[in-house]
């Protein structure tokens, strides 16, 4: 396995050579990437000696594309120490030096950060918000630990010890599943579209199919970003990061920002096609005998948008919930939304679809292949889908 160690400019950078030494000793191939500030704390010669490879620290030294070659080379990027500065840059999408450029390019592969800073900086709401953003994208944090800090005080902010970082790396990489090192996006559950402060338009999706897909992908070794509408389900898997949303527009925002970093996406959510044109911020009163008219406007189509964003090498899988002309309608969605596969759910099949623990699906591939499942648990259906779309 190949690991890129990124080093930023904090006093804990003096521990980076030890981290590299331990990773090499554990059998990993290592290359280092450092910011200019990191080189105030640790020298190029030290990092090149312990890693046995040239250091990447100048964005333009070899034609300005080294960040892409290094991204292609590495199976994982470990940033230790990660200062408040690099955390803020990545959270804001800033790429203005060798390491931040590499971090933005390192999509679809696991990234680990070991934050290190003064405890006041660590507690700052901006840093906490940025950490939450990075975690929601699937970036793993190791530490920081509590203890003595370089400024003479003590508190939370010490970089995790190199041995602990190596253990985390080993745990993350030990999975030898076929999807190890890949990141996948899954949408699940219903969306709620607000009418007023107490009412919404929703549907009967429980989220069970989407959560089962997230588990099946994670069990196959993938890092999974699960975006779910309102559901009582929870998930506790080290490789699944859950983002809860309410409306179709919130799901759209989350899914479109996560998709570019993913190897593929499976959209099983039952997204409301329409929402009320306006949502009252108070409880609407009864309108009397004449009834009430709600004006609805169309929601964005998340799947079609991802179909438009899809790059070579990404796999996009949609679901189709149909009541009639099932195959024909599903084929139409597959073509129109630029999908690689579509999973057809027929509401005519007993025991399939909303709420229940079982499902029965037909998986249609773009090249015409077709796979039909018997009625099985949603977990078994999820495994079949994962095996078919990510063999
Ligand atoms: O959650 P469960 O109770 O386990 O139920 C599972 C399920 C029945 C919800 C699931 O198996 C399923 O069929 N999901 C798709 C439901 C659906 O909304 O189908 P659709 O034919 O309306 O949408 C087609 C595809 O476009 C779906 O992938 C959907 O996620 C996507 N879509 C639809 C509308 C929209 N605005 N954005 C979308 O991304």
Q: What is the pLDDT of residues 101-111, one digit of tens each?
A: 999 999 778 89
What proportion of the chain, given as a percentage, has pLDDT over 70?
99
Amino acid 326: pLDDT? 92
Amino acid 125: pLDDT? 97
Whether this prediction's pTM lies above 0.75 is answered by no
Q: Average model confidence (pLDDT) for the chain?
A: 93
Amino acid 340: pLDDT? 98
Amino acid 348: pLDDT? 86
Mean pLDDT is lowest, of 294-303, 333-342, 351-360, for: 351-360
183-389 domain in CATH 3.40.50.10300? yes
pLDDT in tens, 263-319: 999 999 999 999 999 999 999 988 888 888 999 999 999 999 999 999 999 999 999
**Where along the chain do its domains lie?**
2-175, 183-389
- CA dihedral for 242, 248, 249, 252, sign (positive or negative): positive
Active site residue 151: yes
Distances in Å between the alpha carbon of 51 and those of 21, 90, 243, 370? Answer: 7, 25, 37, 49
Name the nearest CA neighbour of 116 among 68, 62, 161, 55.
161
CA 252 to chain CA mean position, Å: 14
Is the distance from CB of 162 to CB of 149 less than 8 angstroms?
no
Give the CA count within 13 Å in the CB-facing half-sphere of 311. Answer: 7
Amino acid 22: pLDDT? 97
Task: Catalytic residue, from 61, 123, 151, 284: name it.
Answer: 151
Same fold, 2-175 and 183-389: yes
CA 222 to chain CA mean position, Å: 10
2-175 domain in CATH 3.90.1150.10? no
Kindly tell me if the per-residue pLDDT of 204 is higher than 90: yes
pLDDT in tens, 162-203: 999 998 888 777 665 789 889 999 999 999 999 999 999 999
Amino acid 152: pLDDT? 81
Name the nearest CA neighbour of 109 among 85, 140, 153, 66.
140
Among protein residues, the one with the nearest Cα to ligand 1's atom 26 is 303
Ligand 1 site residues (CB inside 6 A) read 187, 189, 205-209, 248, 267-271, 273, 299, 301-303, 318-321, 333, 345, 353-355, 378
Query: Hey, what long-range contacts does 293-298 have (CB within 8 A, 24 or more apart)?
Result: 294/195, 298/273, 298/274
Is the distance from CB of 116 to CB of 161 less than 8 angstroms?
no
Kindly tell me if the per-residue pLDDT of 60 is higher than 90: no
**Which backbone phi and psi does 168 adopt, to 5 degrees?**
-65, -40
Q: Is residue 132 within a helix (H) or strand (E), and if so which, with residue range?
A: helix 125-136
Kindly tell me if the per-residue pLDDT of 136 is higher than 80: no
Mean pLDDT is lowest, of 33-37, 150-154, 198-202, 264-268, for: 150-154
């Amino acid at each position: 396995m190949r690991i890129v160690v990124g080093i930023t400019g904090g006093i804990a950078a003096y521990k980076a050579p030890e981290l590299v030494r331990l990773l090499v000793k554990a059998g990993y191939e290592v290359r280092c990437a450092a910011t200019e500030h990191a080189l105030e704390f640790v020298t190029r010669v030290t990092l090149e000696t312990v890693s046995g490879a040239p250091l990447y620290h100048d964005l333009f030294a070899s034609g300005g594309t080294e960040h892409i070659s290094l991204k292609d080379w590495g199976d994982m990027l470990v940033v230790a120490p990660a200062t408040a500065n690099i955390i803020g840059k990545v959270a804001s999408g800033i790429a203005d030096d060798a390491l931040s450029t590499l971090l933005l390019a390192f999509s679809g592969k696991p990234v680990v950060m070991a934050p290190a800073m003064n405890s006041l900086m660590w507690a700052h709401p901006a840093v906490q918000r940025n950490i939450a953003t990075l975690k929601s994208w699937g970036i793993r944090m190791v530490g920081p630990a509590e203890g003595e800090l370089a400024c003479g005080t003590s508190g939370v902010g010490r970089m995790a010890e190199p041995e602990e970082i190596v253990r985390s790396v080993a745990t993350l990489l030990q999975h030898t599943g076929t999807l190890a090192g890949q990141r996948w996006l899954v949408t699940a559950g219903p969306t709620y579209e607000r009418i007023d402060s107490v009412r919404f338009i929703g549907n009967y999706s429980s989220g069970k199919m989407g959560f089962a897909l997230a588990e099946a992908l994670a069990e196959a070794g993938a890092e999974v970003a699960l975006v779910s509408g309102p559901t009582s389900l929870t998930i506790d898997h080290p490789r699944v990061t859950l983002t809860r949303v309410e409306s179709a527009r919130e799901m759209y925002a989350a899914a479109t920002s996560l998709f570019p970093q993913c190897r593929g996406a499976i959209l099983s959510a039952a997204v409301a096609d329409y929402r009320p044109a306006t949502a009252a911020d108070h409880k609407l009163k009864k309108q009397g005998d004449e009834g009430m008219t709600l004006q609805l406007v169309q929601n964005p189509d998340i799947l079609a948008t991802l179909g438009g964003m899809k790059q070579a090498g990404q796999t996009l899988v949609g679901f189709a919930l149909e009541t009639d002309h099932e195959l024909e309608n599903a084929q139409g969605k597959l073509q129109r939304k630029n999908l690689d596969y579509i999973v057809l759910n027929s509401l005519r099949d007993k025991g399939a679809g909303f709420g229940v623990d079982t499902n029965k699906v037909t998986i249609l591939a773009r090249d015409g292949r077709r796979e039909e499942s018997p009625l099985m648990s949603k977990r078994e259906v999820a495994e079949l889908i994962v095996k078919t779309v990510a063999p």
